[in-house]
Amino acid sequence: MTLRAVVDPNVFISAQISSLGHPARIARAADKGIFELVVSERLLLELHDVLMRPRFRRHMTESEVENLVEDLREKGIGAEEGEIGRVVPGDPEDDYLVALARVSGADYLVSGDPHLTAASLDTATVTVLTPRRFSEMLEKPG
């Protein structure tokens, strides 16, 4: 059975800054179809908007950002978040990621955000993993 995951845009952003490390491994695994990547227009818009900021210009050109977002749109499984109310303590802007994971039936929500990985986060139907844990899980045989 193929794993299905929602990946926080910040993981893809980290992968663009450095081709080394767990975020980059996750980005490569998504590109190769090693797991089913769940995306939404909101997730892709957040990724696009952040990567278009001036401080990221040295890492990616505008056309590279556009290509990345389009690749993720094409390779990912499109879903809508729906509404679940406030579930992420301290960062309600990330509620949509939990909603997307729940609605899409994702096995995992991958994020390094401490608000999402906090033990107090009620994710009865969503398992939140750090990029390191998810990357290591993908690399395990079987």
Q: What is the pLDDT of residues 31-41, one digit of tens each?
A: 999 999 999 99
pLDDT at 51: 96
Taking residue 112's Cβ as centre, other Cβ atoms within 10 Å add up to 16
Structural domain tally of the chain?
Answer: 1
**Integer Cα distance of 57 and 54 in angstroms:** 5
Residues of the chain with pLDDT under 70: 1, 81-93, 117-125, 141-142
Paired tokens of 100: 């997307």
pLDDT at 87: 62
**Integer Cα distance of 18 and 2 in angstroms:** 27
**Integer Cα distance of 26 and 18 in angstroms:** 12
Structural domain range at position 29? 4-136
pLDDT at 75: 94
pLDDT at 60: 92
Q: Is 30 strand, coil or helix?
A: helix
Is position 142 within any domain? no
pLDDT at 124: 58
Is position 141 within any domain? no
Is position 125 within any domain? yes
CATH of residue 75's domain is 3.40.50.1010
